[in-house]
A and B are shown apart, each in its own frame.
Chain A
Amino acid sequence: MRVSDDGQMAVEDHGWGEDTNKRGWTTLPLIATANSILSGQGSRAMLRTRPGGQSINGTAPATGAASALVEIEPYKPVGGGPLDLASDCGHAARQVMGSGPAGRDVAVISRPAEPGNSGAAGAVTGGILGLLGGAGIGALIGMAGGPVGALIGGVIGGVAGLIGGILAGRALGRRPAQPAREQYLSPRPYHGGDPTTPEEWSEEVFRDEFGAGLTREEAYAAYARLSPSERDDFDRRHGINRYATPRIGQGLTVSTEKDMPGFSGGPGTWNFHYAATILTSGPDYVTLENAAGWDPTHWIYYMYGTALGQSFDEEQGATGTHGTRHTTFVVQPESLLDVHTTGPATTLRTGSGSVSLPIGTSLKVIERRPLPAGASELRVRVVGGPHDGIEGFVPESAVL
């Protein structure tokens, strides 16, 4: 059995495979939280207390706090009967996320907060370069007045270069602080083939970082050239691979990177895998998964975590079925980016002030920013109406 660090979730652990892990446990409040989200997204699966199920008691691994959990079962809110999911990982995950049969999905890029940079290092470099350059140029100009002129010209030029260099270097080196934020890659339909949907997102994120003009091969090569520590930094700054951590109603996909330099695989290599998240608590998350060729009722629960070696990326990579290069993204339905205001007068905070939006105003989510208090705000663009096209921020709680 796997138990979340905070003792709020537990699932069977008979390994990753068809029909292996059918039993799970959590708390009533977490069931309610999950159902609120899954229902809102039109998920094929919701959670309930399993009739006749077995409650379990224990202590949280991280804190030792007492924990009492009820056994759960997934059920279909529409149609009844035992939960069945498509015999394909991506289609199954999309059923749980509520993507809809023809809906597109987006990959989620989670950027961590970054402290600002005053530009001090740039100022020092710029100052030194300015001093040397200015002194040289001043001396050359001053040579017309003889050695004394050259000396005076050099001093004046050096001082001017120093000041100019400091200011220019500081300006170039300055970077404002960035809040943690969730951004989205292009909406794409789900497909296998060559390239697959997740491979298209990989190409997109590598191009975003290394150059929009790069070919697919060049973009992949640029990532492959990074040292292990540089790759880890890249992954952390984008919330991909082992840093890909989903919320309830989001999913994960691991893409086998057959076109990345250094890739090798065997006859048992698969193109990708998807899973959908139904529970989260603390640093851990529980997914519902099915896979190509599995019976529709042979879905499984699986618990992953954010600790080293526990992530979806690491666990799926360790199965040996994604070759030596793979990329993991958090994914979600594109439809989650289409929201509308729910209050009579929602304030849209813009760069130059604010705009009051009437109830039902359609908005396209561009970015989601978690706030310290646990809430979030959304950077949105107004769609239609008198404020069409205006961008600004609204509290996430003010939209649906």
Chain B
Amino acid sequence: MTGNGGTGRPDVRTGEALAGADGCEITLHGRYTASARPVRGGKGTRPVDRAFVLLVDGTQVWLEPLDQPASVRPDAERQLDGAAVRVRGRAHRIMPAVGQSLLAPCLTAVHDLEPEP
């Protein structure tokens, strides 16, 4: 975790920092990565309509729990694929899914997603 840039939210760049901010509003910094929904034992190809932010240490932070409608990202976001971004939301060490899910960190109530200046 580093400074908050005057926003009152911690700036998070690593998985360890995200775990330390579990449940808190944060600003996450990493590389936007469009992805199909991961499916255990899945068959065939699925639409690339989900996304995670890839942190510098390799941690994948999913944008919204994968069994929630909000995890289907707007088409317009796809243009950010591969770009360095910052995004705000609530940090979760473990995705707060309703049911079966990846054991992975997640950002909920995602907002203010934008390219890094």
Contacts and interface: CB of A to CB of B under 8 A. Distances in A.
Contacts of B102: 267-271
Nearest to B104: A267
A191 interface: yes
A238 interface: no
B103 A292 contact: no
B40 A192 contact: no
B41 A17 contact: yes
Interface of A: 16-20, 88-91, 190-194, 256, 258, 265, 267-274, 291-294, 298, 319, 321, 323
Contacts of A298: 43
Contacts of B46: 293
Chain B contact patch, size range: 20 to 34
B74 interface: no
A192 B42 contact: no
Of the candidates A91, A192, A268, A319, the one having the most CB atoms from chain B within 10 angstroms of its own CB is A192
Interface in B5-63: 37-43, 46, 60
B99 interface: yes
Closest 9 CB pairs of A and B: A293-B39, A17-B41, A192-B97, A194-B94, A18-B43, A88-B99, A292-B100, A269-B103, A193-B96
Given A17-B41, A20-B41, A194-B94, 13 more contacts: A90-B99, A192-B95, A192-B97, A267-B60, A269-B103, A270-B102, A271-B97, A271-B100, A291-B40, A292-B39, A294-B39, A298-B43, A319-B41
A18 B104 contact: no
A192 B98 contact: yes
B contact patch SS = loop
Contact of A194 (B43, B67, B96): B96
A270 B40 contact: yes
B45 to A, nearest CB: 12
Contacts of B95: 192-193
B47 to A, nearest CB: 11
Contacts of A272: 100
Contact of B98 (A191, A258, A267, A291): A191
Given A18-B43, A293-B37, A270 B101 contact: yes
Given A270-B101, A292-B67, A17 B93 contact: no
Contacts of B85: none
A291 B40 CA distance: 7
A99 to B, nearest CB: 13
A39 to B, nearest CB: 26
Contacts of A294: 39, 41-43
A192 B43 contact: no
B107 interface: no
